[in-house]
């Protein structure tokens, strides 16, 4: 890792631990796949793994181990800048007993060969970690490619006047310049609220923290920030050398040798809302400083970017923490600590908005393996009484329209949903149970369109919409058949709009919405129909997630399309003394 990607010891060492963590975690998660009540997991036959160079061991290991644990054969193509690191990791798996005809490594020197691999019809899944542009490229090869991707980030830390400014300056510097800023989770922005914008103490501490970093190559064990992966060019070179309107250098980055790879870190003040630097991802050692009059304005600035990977807050005020937790749009949230260095299970990793692609879930989290195959229904046995009023109204509305076997299946399904909601989806959990840090995993509802295709049973629509209602999702229903009057009235009463349109009309409508950019970030739960036709109609948009698996009785499976996952890590001590800032909030 050091020789290929410039990783310093403090950055490379945790990767080995993370790879080991992934192995243990996914082995245990695979056992749970067989115990899902109400559905049977069907592994993908072949998964292609295309990892990045910036985490050349941990991410390739995690993606490969997850697919293997889920029962899939794997073809892995390590990033060309990190092919030796990837090869060492893969050799370790072969030596441990993974058959070579189940795990294959390839290096492809020509883009045409890569395109053939990604687009080949035998490939059931592609796991990508990389830029959003790469996800767009892969989908251009094959519009219906089942692509699960963790993509870009443009991440910010908010610092309020109630923060420990010394700690905030340290965490901002570490988050911005660890691995020379070449982490998708890195802090690219810091937003100073109110008086912090004029605080000499914070300014001096930040500048001191940044300028005291020892920059060098990793063969020097005292190096704290290593080189960038290749000579700076394009938008990164622009970020390192060119200021925007109203911007000034608090710490001007300098090229330190003739390779063009070794740069000192840079800090630019005066970054304006909506500016090029505010909204553009730069993969390198440069930090932008923005200001806001209020926390609410800072949150709006933080949420304005297209990505939603990591986000940070430094504040010792519980009211501010509560406001931030209720409104921030990111998959991984960090309070009074750095925003990089997610740990398996403790902080499952994955973002919102354009930071995540496909019908997948967080790496190192409880649902990741569920997206690495397909599901078929089975009879649910462990159920719970239905107490959600909206779900009960849907059940009653279709009772007279279904066959007895469908009524029984619906009743089991809704009971399975209630059980899954009570034990998993409807509660925030801290499974790590550390005393010094709270690591909370929770689910947040999001809008979903449910489509009932021609020939698909009404019972499946009722079952799916009921799951969405239980999850609290804002639903839109498109159906190929006119719904019974009582069901339609119930849906209308639940603020669910219903449109009747043929499959051809539905695809044409989806194509128009996609062309107009109105499906950005959307989710569609497709019941029956042709998922490939929908992918083609929407031009394979990476920012549209299509869930097309068979409708099952398992609440553990059917609630997932209606929910975002969010991991929150909160420092729960101050100078070693426990504090309880967030205990009443989450």
pLDDT of 383 > 90? The answer is no
Where does the pLDDT of residue 277 fall: very low under 50, low under 70, confident under 90, or very high at 90 and above? very high
Annotation marks residue 150 as catalytic: yes
CB 179 within 8 A of CB 54: yes
Q: How far apart are CA 463 and CA 457, in angstroms?
A: 10
* CATH code assigned to 385-564: 3.40.605.10
Q: Cite the beta strand spans of 378-490 per DSSP E.
A: 437-445, 448-452, 475-479
CB 152 within 8 A of CB 131: yes
Q: How far apart are CA 25 and CA 520, in angstroms?
A: 33
Task: Tell me the C-alpha to C-alpha distance, in Å, between residue 286 and each of 48, 179, 249, 376.
Answer: 33, 12, 10, 48
Q: Which of 4, 184, 406, 553 is catalytic?
A: 184
* Percent of the chain residues past pLDDT 90, beyond the cut: 98
Matching residue, tokens 């339609």: 488
Assign a CATH topology to domain 2-151. Aldehyde Dehydrogenase; Chain A, domain 1 (3.40.605)
Contacts of residue 290, defined as CB under 8 A and 6 or more positions apart, other chains included, come to 156, 189, 190, 191, 192, 271, 272, 273, 278, 301
Q: Could you tell me the two tokens for 304?
A: 């304005």
Furthest CA-CA distance within the chain: 78
The per-residue pLDDT for 6 is 95
Q: Could you tell me the two tokens for 374?
A: 């397909």
Q: For all residues of the chain together, what is the average pLDDT?
A: 96
Q: Could you tell me the two tokens for 176?
A: 């911005």
**Interhelix angle for 9-33 vs 58-69, to 10°?**
10
Q: How far apart are CA 78 and CA 184, in angstroms?
A: 18
SS3 415: helix
Sign of the Cα torsion 517, 519, 522, 523 reads negative
Query: What is the C-alpha end-to-end distance of the chain, expressed in Å?
Result: 38
Burial of 74 (0-12, 13-18, 19+ CB in 10 A): buried
The H or E element spanning position 299 is: helix 295-303
> How many CA atoms are closer than 13 Å to the CA of 536, on its beta-carbon side?
5
Q: How far apart are CA 559 and CA 288, in angstroms?
A: 39
CB 144 within 8 A of CB 179: no
Q: Rounded to the nearest 10 degrees, how much is the dihedral formed by the CA atoms of 109, 115, 120, 123?
A: 80
Task: Tell me the C-alpha to C-alpha distance, in Å, between residue 254 and each of 240, 461, 525.
Answer: 8, 60, 50
CB 39 within 8 A of CB 338: no
Where does the pLDDT of residue 333 fall: very low under 50, low under 70, confident under 90, or very high at 90 and above? very high
Where does the pLDDT of residue 446 fall: very low under 50, low under 70, confident under 90, or very high at 90 and above? very high
* Percent of the chain residues past pLDDT 70, beyond the cut: 100
The per-residue pLDDT for 544 is 96
The per-residue pLDDT for 564 is 96
Where does the pLDDT of residue 111 fall: very low under 50, low under 70, confident under 90, or very high at 90 and above? confident
Q: Could you tell me the two tokens for 351?
A: 């973002």
- 0.75 exceeded by the pTM? yes
Q: Which of 4, 15, 18, 150 is catalytic?
A: 150
Q: How far apart are CA 337 and CA 38, in angstroms?
A: 41
Calculate mean pLDDT across residues 514-543.
Answer: 95
Backbone angles phi, psi at 310, to 5 degrees: -120, 160
pLDDT of 110 > 90? The answer is no
Residue 537 CA, chain-centre distance (Å), reads 25
CB 157 within 8 A of CB 171: yes
Residue 129's nearest CA partner among 38, 63, 65 is 63
Residue 449 CA, chain-centre distance (Å), reads 20
User: Residue 501 CB: number of other CB atoms within 10 A?
Assistant: 14
pLDDT of 382 > 90? The answer is no
CATH fourth-level superfamily of 155-349: Aldehyde Dehydrogenase; Chain A, domain 2 (3.40.309.10)
pLDDT of 501 > 90? The answer is yes
List the chain domain ranges: 2-151, 155-349, 385-564
Q: How far apart are CA 85 and CA 91, in angstroms?
A: 10
Annotation marks residue 184 as catalytic: yes
Q: Do the domains spanning 2-151 and 155-349 agree at the CATH topology level?
A: no
The per-residue pLDDT for 109 is 80
């Amino acid at each position: 890792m050091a020789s290929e990607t410039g990783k310093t010891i403090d950055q490379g060492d945790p990767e080995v631990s993370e790879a080991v963590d992934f192995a243990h975690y996914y082995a245990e998660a695979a056992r749970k796949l067989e115990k899902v009540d109400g559905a049977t997991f069907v592994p993908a036959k072949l998964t292609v793994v295309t990892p990045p160079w910036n985490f050349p061991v941990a991410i390739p290991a995690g993606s490969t181990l997850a697919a293997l644990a889920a029962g899939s054969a794997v073809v892995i193509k390590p990033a060309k800048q990190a092919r030796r690191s990837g090869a060492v990791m893969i050799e370790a798996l072969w030596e441990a007993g993974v058959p070579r005809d189940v795990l294959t490594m390839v290096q492809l020197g020509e883009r045409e060969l890569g395109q053939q691999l990604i687009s080949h019809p035998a490939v059931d899944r592609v796991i990508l970690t990389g830029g959003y542009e790469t996800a767009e490229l892969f989908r251009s090869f094959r519009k219906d490619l089942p692509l699960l991707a963790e993509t870009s980030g443009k991440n910010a830390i908010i610092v309020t006047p109630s923060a420990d400014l010394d700690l905030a300056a340290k965490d901002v510097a570490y988050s911005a310049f660890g691995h020379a800023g070449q982490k998708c989770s890195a802090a690219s922005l810091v937003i100073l609220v109110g008086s912090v914008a004029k605080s000499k103490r914070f300014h001096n501490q930040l500048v001191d923290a940044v300028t005291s970093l020892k920059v060098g190559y990793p063969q020097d064990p005292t190096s704290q920030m290593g080189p960038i992966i290749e000579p700076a060019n394009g938008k990164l070179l622009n970020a390192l050398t060119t200021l925007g309107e109203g911007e000034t250098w608090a710490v001007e980055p300098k090229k330190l040798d003739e390779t063009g790879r070794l740069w000192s870190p840079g800090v630019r003040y005066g970054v304006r809302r909506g500016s090029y630097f505010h909204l553009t991802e730069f993969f390198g050692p440069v930090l932008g400083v923005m200001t806001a009059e209020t926390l609410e304005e800072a949150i709006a600035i933080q949420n304005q970017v297209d990505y939603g990977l990591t986000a940070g807050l430094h504040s010792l005020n519980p009211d501010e923490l509560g406001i931030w937790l209720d409104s921030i749009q990111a998959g991984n949230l960090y309070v009074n600590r750095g925003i990089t260095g997610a740990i398996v299970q403790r902080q499952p990793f994955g973002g919102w908005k354009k930071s995540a692609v496909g019908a997948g879930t967080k790496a190192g989290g409880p649902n990741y393996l569920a997206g690495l195959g397909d599901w078929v229904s089975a009879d649910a046995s462990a159920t719970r009484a239905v107490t959600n009023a909206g779900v009960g109204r849907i059940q009653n509305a279709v009772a007279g329209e279904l066959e007895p076997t469908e009524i029984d299946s619906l009743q089991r399904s809704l009971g399975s949903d209630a059980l899954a909601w009570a034990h998993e989806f409807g509660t925030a959990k801290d499974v790590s149970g550390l005393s010094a840090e709270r690591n909370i995993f929770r689910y947040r509802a999001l809008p979903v369109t449910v489509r009932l295709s021609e020939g698909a049973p009404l019972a499946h629509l009722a079952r799916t919409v009921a799951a969405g209602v239980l999850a609290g999702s804002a639903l839109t229903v498109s159906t190929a058949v006119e719904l019974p009057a009582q069901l339609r009235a119930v849906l209308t009463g639940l603020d669910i709009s219903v449109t009747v349109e043929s499959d051809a009309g539905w695809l044409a409508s989806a194509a128009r919405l996609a062309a107009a950019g109105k499906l950005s970030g959307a989710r569609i739960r497709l019941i029956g129909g042709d998922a490939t036709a929908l992918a083609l109609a929407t031009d394979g948009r990476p920012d549209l997630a299509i869930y097309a698996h068979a409708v099952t009785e398992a609440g553990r499976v059917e609630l997932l399309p209606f929910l975002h996952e969010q991991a929150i890590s909160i420092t729960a001590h101050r100078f070693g003394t426990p504090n309880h800032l967030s205990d009443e909030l989450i």
